[in-house]
Structure 1
Amino acid sequence: MATFNTQDSKDFDLVQLADAVNHGCEMSMNLVIEASRIQYRHRPGDQSCTVLDVDRLATCPLPGLSEENSCVFSGYVVLLSTEQAIVAKHFEDRALTIGLVNGDLSKQYTHVGFNRPKNVTYFCDHSNLTRVSHEKKWEDQALRIVLNLSINILLVSGVVTQQLKDHCLSHNILVIEHARAAILKAFAMSTGAVPISYVTQLSERCVGAGVRVNVLREYHGTGKAQMAVVSIDACGMTLATAVLASSVHAKLQSLEDRFWGCAYRVHHALKDGKLLPGAGDTERLCIHQLHKHMSKSRPEKQGRGDEPSKGIQTEESRLAAAYEQVVLQLMADGWMDYISTLLVNCGQTVTKAQACTYIAQQLRELPGAPLKKDIYMGMAQGDRGTEGKRMLERESEMVGVYDNMTVKFETWRRALDLVLLVLQTDTEIITGINEKNAEHRDFMFL
């Protein structure tokens, strides 16, 4: 297991940590590193270590351009239509106000947890002579509230009705939909705005200030539509957005998944402070340790004339050891099947038989001691002396492939829970008893 110390910014190198967990996604990991640098520069009052806050990351898919145009910007970057881009240009070089809505901007929206009364019918005691719908009245009220508060930008986590968006655009109000709750929180901390659930809750104390809008680029998107890439930023905000470009529209989702996968691998590595050897090394070490336990727990043979003594195993202990051998062997076989399947799926071997032969050869080459691999990231260990640091500087090891410890442990735990559930179900079906039967309290359950 590789361990490292992130408390000393002079000794810690995030780049080499990212190389260890990029898993072949170099381009996406480079974007993650650049986002971390942006957050590090804009982190107010805390320069103790290199940081990566996944809650302050966002992505902006950009269709039509090649992947070489992918980059990272400070602030919240969104893709706007031509009409919205005109409003954004009007806002450039101005300090703007912002309102945050955590939900939908529609008459029918209700917050999470609200339950409408069932089997209730509403009747009106007079006819609607003005023919003005309730939806129209709500839109007029919402627009009047926004105009009275002089809000320039509305950031909404949900969707906005098309009629209200059109009214806002006609009054030079920029409406941005589908913003994550973490994005709203970042703007709330930087601008002083208060996120609300309904537009009727907007008041002067809920409006934030100090927002800047910058039109980064204009281009023709898919078809004849003209789009604009716009950055919305505020002073002191550590938000960074990765603009993911691709000329193949269907590939954008894959690029976005790769970016978030890289970001969370680095995030978990920084949070754990430890990494496990990847490329199947940890699993091979598990097989190696299981084989060692099997050799230690083999039952000793007892001759016919021998009598039980303190040094001789009893019949119960020999039976328990035999069952232990079966369990350990099945666990080792399960690990072997897991690693061989991975080797076949990755294309390193053609058949499982070749994979098992390759794994067995690697197991024979493992020493008796546990697997020792270290990851060189500047000066990783805090207890090493100056001479040791200089040696690491002179002879830096190549960074191998590593996996996140907590994620891998959680995967193993869920797999074990599933196996135990199946075994428990089989036991109850075969024996016909369960834990609730009082007459079988002494029966051992999994």
Structure 2
Amino acid sequence: MPVPPHHDPAAPAPTGLGRRTDTLLRGLLLLVALYHVVFAGWLAYRTGPGLDRMVPAMAVLQVLLCALCLVEHHAGRSVRAATTFVLAQLPLLMLAYGYWGLAALMRLQLGQIVPMLLVAAVLGHRTLSWAAAALCGLQLLGAWVDASGAMFRGDRLQLVGTDLGVGLFGVLLTAWLLHHSVTGLRESLQMAQQRSQELARKRDELQVEIQERERARDQLVHAMKMENVGRLASGIAHDFNHLLGLIQMYVAKAGRSQGEPQQAALNGADAAVRRASAVSRRLMDFSRLEAARPQLLDAAATVNGLTPLLEQMFPRGVDVQVDTGGVQRLIHFDPAQLESILLSLAVNAQQAMPEGGRFTLALQPAEGDQLLLRVEDTGVGMSEEVRARCLEPFFTTKPIGQGTGLGLAVTVRLINAAGGSVQVHSQAGQGTQVHLRLPSRSIGPAAA
């Protein structure tokens, strides 16, 4: 079958022979043709006019056979070329052994039988066996010719027997060596292909595992946000109660008033509704499961906008201090993720101060163009062993069912992805300080 125009040269040949085997076959055919041409020329030079005409005739036939097989090989029919070579060698060798006998061809046996057996080995074990048996039969034919030419004399028969034994041994040994060599090469190739397929399968499994881990990581980030949403639910409900109370008050006032006071009451109700919508929208944005959307944020404005939620989170015994320090810097971060990080740290601080204390969230410039977000509490703190492991995923000191151990681990991943760093300082009984460093730039005319 011809090779398709867009056939990949690295792929196995469609004829059943490998790419390297095709190269071997082509080189072997060229060498056999060259061998017969050179040998016939050398005999003609040594013998002169007395050269047996059978010699150039056999050389021409061998060259024509090799040329035909090369044409088949070039057309992409490698199996047909190899089969043609083996089948055509049988009548040619039969003619040679029948004409010259075994003894005359003993010295030429290497150039006669090895190419045929080598090509037969390429075609398979069965073809090699038939070719070796046929060559043994031809050896017997040549021995018969030698014996009959010697009139079956006893001394000549002994020489013929010796030649026949050597010839048969050479054929069988060559066939045996080629069989085991080709079989070993094929097994090695098969093992290499199996290994390649196994590596490809492992690669695919690794890619699937990486994708699964990415999905699991995103789900864990969302789980952390939803955990914080649950803790904020009571504070959000408290804000809504106040807002709804204002709305009811303004509506009642509008019902009792006439003219301009009524309009003012309705305006107040409208403003309260807008505030209630803003709180609702913030809660939905915070809990939405979407890919990160980093953008330039005014760090101070973001922290100030989070202040009401922080105040609702802590009980009355905790003093909440939010200090932006007049910092005017922009950071490149996803606003929902930044809120999630700060609220998660606030939740940890709230749980570390059951008896009350002070929670501080402050901004201040750091070395270079970095911005430091400092989150501190005066709670129970951490031992050195706990502090050393607090950033590890799934590490938690909380009772079973009350913590996942993912808050700080997710915080570290998100901050590192933005080019920042996280440091935790804590001692038992002396509170905890978490320092978040992020790249920033000053708010200037260009940024505005």
Q: Which has the higher strand share?
A: 1
| TMscore range, shorter length | under 0.3
Greater relative contact order (CA < 8 Å, ≥ 6 in sequence): 1
Whichever of the two has the greater Rg, that structure is: 2
